[in-house]
Chains A and B, each alone.
Chain A
Amino acid sequence: AQSVTQLGSHVSVSEGALVLLRCNYSSSVPPYLFWYVQYPNQGLQLLLKYTSAATLVKGINGFEAEFKKSETSFHLTKPSAHMSDAAEYFCAVSLQTGANNLFFGTGTRLTVIP
């Protein structure tokens, strides 16, 4: 079975501090991995994606994520948090088999403290 686990439904960081949002996946086949951001009363916006090229993926708004096969992880990071980063973040996995759909995690709400 395939799944995505996001550790921590709520994360708070101070403005200027490191942002680390955790995502672990389970898959028996090579996955494609995505991070989405959702601002209040909006749809989801793609931040970045891993598609089996470079393991360190850079996305929009200064975010990046590293695919670590040995740890089955795809954690999202940003060196310095900005107030505008406050949002809900979703990790998702797509598998090279089966229903050809994305499977989303339960989301992590990021709060940035001034």
Chain B
Amino acid sequence: EADIYQTPRYLVIGTGKKITLECSQTMGHDKMYWYQQDPGMELHLIHYSYGVNSTEKGDLSSESTVSRIRTEHFPLTLESARPSHTSQYLCASSPMGFFYGYTFGSGTRLTVV
């Protein structure tokens, strides 16, 4: 079964630390996405990529950065974590085309103290 993996599932980290949230997919999908979701709230797109070396910012402004050096890997980095970054981060992927849905990972719940 094809899948998309996010690590870690939970992370508690101090203010000012640099963190990288990992996301990998085994489906060969060209498109990948990062969403930010506060508890019980809507999804906000913060980054997306249409392929290797392609990254774009989403609708919600974010201090995080992303890279896409390999098709299967789409990590998200925060250079200096702050309490305002506390949230759930969801990674997703999809093939090219308008009629495909997204496959989501299980998410990373980040708490910055």
Q: From B42, B48, B97, B101, give the contact of A34 (CB < 8 A).
A: B101
Q: Give the one of B40, B103, B105 with max A CB within 10 A.
A: B40
A-B complex: 9 closest residue pairs judged by Cβ atoms:
A43-B104, A106-B42, A51-B99, A44-B104, A46-B101, A32-B99, A104-B43, A43-B106, A96-B98
CA A42 – CA B109 in complex, angstroms? 10
Q: How far is it, in angstroms, between the C-alpha of A101 and the C-alpha of B47 when the chains are bound?
A: 12
Interface size class on chain A is 20 to 34
Cβ-based interface call for A28 (8 A): no
Contact flags B10-53 to A (C-beta < 8 A → 1, else 0): 00000000000000000000010100000011110100101000
With A32-B99, A88-B40, A105-B42 as contacts: A43 and B48 at CB distance below 8 Å = no
- Is residue A61 within 8 Å, beta carbon to beta carbon, of the partner chain? no
A-B contact pairs, 10 of them (CB 8 A): A41-B107, A42-B107, A44-B92, A46-B102, A46-B103, A49-B99, A88-B40, A90-B43, A101-B33, A106-B41
A102 beta carbon closer than 8 Å to chain B: yes
**Residue A20 is within 8 A (CB to CB) of chain B in the complex:** no
Look across to chain B and name the residue whose beta carbon is closest to the beta carbon of A48.
B101
Contacts of B69 in A (CB 8 A): none
- B109 near A41 (CB under 8 angstroms)? yes
Residue on B nearest A43 in the bound complex, by CB = B104
Point out residues on B near A: beta carbons under 8 Å. Answer: 6, 31, 33, 40-43, 45, 48, 50, 90, 92, 96-99, 101-107, 109
Distance of A107 Cα from B96 Cα, bound (Å): 25
Partner of A101, one of B40, B45, B104, B105: B45
Q: Which residue of A lies closest to B103 (CB)?
A: A46
User: Is A94 at the interface (CB under 8 A from chain B)?
Assistant: yes
One of B45, B48, B50, B106 near A42 (C-beta < 8 A): B106
Which residues in window 22-52 of A have CB below 8 A to B? 32, 34, 36, 41-46, 49, 51-52
Query: Known interface pairs A32-B99, A49-B101, A88-B40. Does A101 touch B48 (Cβ–Cβ under 8 Å)?
Result: yes
Given contacts A32-B98, A44-B90, A94-B98, contact A109 B104 (CB under 8 A): no
